[in-house]
Amino acid sequence: MVIGIDCRLYSPKYTGIGRYVFELVKNLIELDTVNHYVLYFNQAEFDQFQVPNERWEKKLVNIPHYSLAEQTRFYFFLRQEKLDLMHFPHFNAPIFYTKPFVVTIHDLTLHYYPYKEYSPRWSLKKQIEIWVYRFLMGRVVKNAKRIIAVSENTKKDLIKEYALKPEKITTIYEGVPETFQKSTQEGIEAVKKKYGIMKNYLLYTGVWRSHKNLLKLIEAFKLILDAGQDVQLVLTGKKDPAYPEIPDLIQKLGLQAKVILTGFVDDADLVPLMSGATIYVFPSLYEGFGLPPLEAMALGVPVACSNNSSLPEVVGNAAVTFDPRNAQDMADKIIGILKSPELLKTLETRGYENVRRFSWKTMARQILEIYRT
């Protein structure tokens, strides 16, 4: 077969869809010795990718994501391509493309936590954007030959929102980057010094979004301190002016000396920063998959996370879970881990075991089977 893959989001640097596309391509190169692949890139990714052999081909399209050109120029470009199958690794596909294609749906976050949170006012522009998003998603999942969901929870949400037949959707889990190996103590100490971390610390990594539930985590942290635990809270993520309530709450609760806002953390610092955490805390209200807790487990870090959406199926029995809308429950569960060396060790051991269930190579092998059917 001749198989096309939309690689405009291709990136080895970060988690998320960029990493998903990178790992898919990387592992297909190793696994598939039969089919011919055509990869469609924007300029930066086109320059970065090295064609491995004659069965792989790259083409430059230079079409922005979520743009009108994506629905027009990209559509006409693909229509002229002689493909047996196209794989869109995200929902942002041309809605008029009706040749056989597979689409990966990572989550339905915007269905449940829409753009309203990005702006002080719920503007008409944002309402239109949500309508367009829902329309595009609906057309793409209905036109797709097969749908890949990254969790059973995402599959369930797709069936509920779009009345799809379950047999059209296959759940294929993501993996954990091979680069996530526990850092040396020297590396951990260096990154702690860089960010001013002086004590044992709880860690959250990710963006600032309402559904990430950072306000409730900060409230829970105050309860943890009030209960006598001498720890710090480290929050990564680019400081977002759309969320002034996060630093405002830290100041209101008098936690400036206890909460460290690192800003954006690159991969070189992320692994030692995560490796040194006493507990990795993930209080999200909704996740399509939930890779960060698995990354923490791969580094031997105990995990406490929400008991909702996809997270229970991903963490299994390897994490302590809490009600993310209840600050007291969150605090109590974290305190329970901090007070129990035995539980800390158990979570570390179970975490290592749980991570073995998730492999990028296994993901690519299962997707290859989808291509063949």
Predicted confidence (pLDDT) at residue 109 exceeds the cutoff of 70: yes
Kindly state whether residue 19 falls inside one of the protein's structural domains: yes
Same domain, 167 and 91: yes
Q: Is 338 helix (H, G, I), strand (E, B) or coil?
A: helix
Same domain, 232 and 255: yes
Confidence of residue 118 (pLDDT cuts 50, 70, 90): very low
Same domain, 330 and 269: yes
pTM over 0.95: no
CATH number at 302 reads 3.40.50.2000
Same domain, 85 and 233: no
Same domain, 67 and 128: yes
CB atoms within 10 A of CB 237: 20
Same domain, 193 and 146: no
The string of pLDDT tens digits covering residues 70-93 is 999 999 999 999 999 999 999 999
Kindly state whether residue 304 falls inside one of the protein's structural domains: yes
Same domain, 190 and 276: yes
Q: CA of 355: how far to CAs of 92, 227, 343, 373, in Å?
A: 30, 32, 18, 28
Q: Do the Cβ atoms of 206 and 233 come closer than 8 Å?
A: no
Percent of the chain with pLDDT over 70: 97
- Section 126-149 average pLDDT: 92
Gap between the Cα atoms of 70 and 63, Å rounded: 6
CB atoms within 10 A of CB 124: 8
DSSP track, 74-123? HHHHHHTS--SEEEESSS---TT--SSEEEEE---HHHHS-GGGGSSS--
Can you say how many angstroms the Cα of residue 321 is from the centroid of all Cα atoms in its chain? 19
Predicted confidence (pLDDT) at residue 179 exceeds the cutoff of 80: no
Kindly state whether residue 180 falls inside one of the protein's structural domains: no
Same domain, 164 and 197: no
Kindly state whether residue 231 falls inside one of the protein's structural domains: yes
Same domain, 120 and 69: yes
Instruction: Assign 3-class secondary structure to 11-33.
Output: CCCCCCHHHHHHHHHHHHHHHCC
Write b or e for each residue in 332-355: b if 16 or more Cβ atoms lie within 10 A of its Cβ, otherwise e.
ebbbebbeeeeebebbbebbeebb
Same domain, 304 and 255: yes
Same domain, 133 and 247: no
- Section 359-365 average pLDDT: 96
The string of pLDDT tens digits covering residues 275-331 is 999 999 999 999 999 999 999 999 999 999 999 999 999 999 999 999 999 999 999
Q: CA of 166: how far to CAs of 134, 158, 371, in Å?
A: 20, 9, 18
The total number of structural domains that make up the chain: 2
| 322 token code pair | 């809490």
**What are phi and psi for residue 221, nearest 5 degrees?**
-65, -40
Q: Given the DSSP bridges, would you call strands 169-171 and 201-204 parallel, antiparallel or unpaired?
A: unpaired
Same domain, 219 and 310: yes
User: Which residue carries 């002016």 as its tokens?
Assistant: 241
Q: Is 170 helix (H, G, I), strand (E, B) or coil?
A: strand
pLDDT at 135: 93
Q: Do the Cβ atoms of 197 and 231 come closer than 8 Å?
A: no
Structural domain span for residue 239: 185-355
User: Which residue carries 């409230």 as its tokens?
Assistant: 219
- Section 266-274 average pLDDT: 91
Nearest Cα to 307, choosing from 298, 297, 319, 299?
319
- Section 104-122 average pLDDT: 74
Gap between the Cα atoms of 334 and 312, Å rounded: 17
Kindly state whether residue 321 falls inside one of the protein's structural domains: yes
The string of pLDDT tens digits covering residues 17-60 is 999 999 999 999 999 999 999 999 999 999 999 999 999 999 99
In a 13 Å sphere around the CA of 261, the CA atoms on its Cβ side amount to 18
